[in-house]
Structure 1
Amino acid sequence: MTTKTTVSAHPMRWVPTLYLAEGLPFYAVALVAGLMYKSLGVPNDQIARWTGLIGLAWVFKSLWSPFLEAASSKKLIVVSFQLIGGVCLGLVALSLQLPTYFALSIALLGVVGIASATHDIAADGLYIASLSNKQQAAYAGWQGAFFNAAKFISLGGLVILAGHLEKQMDAQHAWMIIFGILGVMLTALGIYHSWALPGTKNTNTEASMHSVFTTLLDVIVDFFKKPGIWLAITFIILFRAGEGQIQTIGPLFLRDARELGGLGLSTDQVGVVYGTAGTVAFLGGSILGGYFASWLGLRRALPWLIVAMNVPNLVFFFLSSTLPENMSVIATALSFEMFGYGFGFVGLILFIMQVVAVGKYQTAHYALGTGVMQLGFVFFKMISGDIQVALGYKQFFVWVLISAIPVLILTRFVKIKDQATPEEDLAQADDGQVEANKII
């Protein structure tokens, strides 16, 4: 297949905004929607189950990604799915005024999820096709920065705004405004990118379409023939056991009334501690975790990374036991947890890179590995609400700590080669950090 750039455009004109557009719908589905449903009185188990189900779009996106290679223009795909996502986010806003708002909004968010996952594939493909290797490295930092800027805007700024609006009007109208803003932002980015993105043209669509299915089948078969692959898949899924549950129930715990075992924070307070302080702590932990793994080597670092990712979840047991009212105490505790989350998560990215993805189809197998990684998150997210409702918050947070033990045991059985050189592992850690910024 041959792809060529047909229009020259300076990367700074489109790379930051492209990854901002990649992050906005992701965080709208993964994080903001859960807080909205909590404000609207939806039970925790329903929130976790249905928002988790939508996450399957990112699990299976690698299965249809090869077919997008046959499209005549990556730019057309990117712009189209940005506009589809923007329109559907606007329709979510309108649906909140209807009696059947929950079912309708979940269906629309499902469309947003599929559009966003498909957009991710095309956006990354456009980035690779439009930039030289040197440019790809130079602008990789802008990818992660603006993907996380979407987190600041949505989980930080817009959730804080939602909290202020909830004090002035009913929750439905408050969140109608928030999702209306998200829809307008993504639609505006789509319109801007119809002008700003470089044009790429696939000059071999017939040949690529003819061979894509057989190639995809070979990629999948080769993936599952890897020695120890089922142990690696089990390890990847269990790696996210504690994280998938705590990242789902944690924000709902902060919002729930104190008489129900929660902290009773307002929506804007949750936006402050999670969307600003927590995000900064996560990014700091991620950077240091990458250097730690590079220094020690993945095989020796991995147990420590797992411990660093899960032991800080103790702060939720502390918060559920003491129910502090001091916001400084709460913000400090959650920042500690998010720092550990970021520090440890890089271990999973490097495990997929260095253990799962090696071989004939390195890029494709890395994509399949990250799909398995997302599957682990989605599975534990979907069941977390039922477990929390059955156990209550305090016992649930104990369960989360226990559920992290199996993956720590498995580190004794997975085979990981020692690092080749510190320079090579440092480069992989940096690449993994970019990918982590785009997945979480």
Structure 2
Amino acid sequence: MNDRHPEAPSEGIGGSSSPRPPRILLRSSWQTANIGDIAHTPGILALLEKWVPDAEVTLWASALGPGPAVRNMLRDRFPELRILNDPPEAEEAAGAIADNDFFLHSSGPRLMGAPELRRWRETGKPYGVYGITFWDSDEATMELLNGAEFVYFRDSVSLNKAVFELGLDAPVVGFTPDAAFATDVLDDEAAAAFLEENGLEEGKFLCCLGRWRYTPWWEMYPRPMTDHDRKVQAYNEHMVDGDHAPLRAAIEEVVRHTDLKVLLCPEDRSQVKVLREQVHAKLPEDVRGRVMLRDTFWLTNEALSVYTRSAGLFSNEMHSPIMAIGRGIPAIVCRWSEQTSKGFMWRDIGLGAWLFDLDYEESRSGIAPAVLKMAQDHEGARAKAAAARDTVQRRHEETMKLLADLLRHRQ
């Protein structure tokens, strides 16, 4: 997919060079309840490190806590990274806006950093949006996007909506996969210990991820349920068996027709219960013995190290498959309408045959055969995953080079 205006805007950030390195204010780290949301930040940082290596980056995070674990993981991998307080004091935020040259909004479910972007825009300094899903169509959001040097969407549905339905006309508008594909934080020691403890051998297991239709935030950040929460959970419970029946069917096929085991693993804390009750407990007894349940939450680095040792993933979640493909590990995605259009990026990177829609029976029925084929044709599945990874990396390179070019011409 090509940008509508592939050329970088001439003199877009001024025509003179500066003796000091360019400074990027990175708006990212939307939450830490989900290892996939955590992954946006190390992913975009890895891309900047590779393609804009001279840049000084300051992270303005929405959330890095509770506790120091996520912050420490980022510092271990990116020791030169500057991180604002969470949240920053007014003076610190104003200083970051004044000191930096370019505001980069990282990947996410929408324009999450819009309030800070509005403050930045008042300075007249340039900014860009990198790999979001788009469903906000209000006038204020469109004004912000139209003022960007570039706007990249992480799925073609979002891109088409913004351009052809709403007339987005920023200088550069296009597609780039979610930055989380580039995530490379690892904890190999923890992963090796986990595999040994659970009797899992490298390359001899698949990972399976399930989830509620809607995240039960009242459990994630404990608070009394509202009437709205009760309606949401009633819907979750109505849908949950049907949403996990295809996963159970796939597990049965894998266990009965291959020598692989299956690891049930969560992207957030609420999914442990779902996997235990809706997958593990409902499996036939002859199958359950080769299915392990990860019953505690983990961070992105340990999870990714486990995924890289697996034979592949099949998932009702999105970002674990994203991270897996980024490492060349096969991954099948199952989506539904409540997850917005982000799942369609699988089609955009050449993995349409590994994208299934749980809202349609015809699509649901294809999940178990596809998982079994992935398990039985390991070399073919790895080749397909590697081709998708290469597509992602080429697009990341093209879009990051545009950013680097913009920074070279800053004032």
Q: Same fold (TM over 0.5)?
A: no
TM-score, with length taken from structure 1: 0.26
TM-score, with length taken from structure 2: 0.27
The higher relative CO (CA closer than 8 Å, separation ≥ 6) is in 1
Structure with more helix by fraction: 1
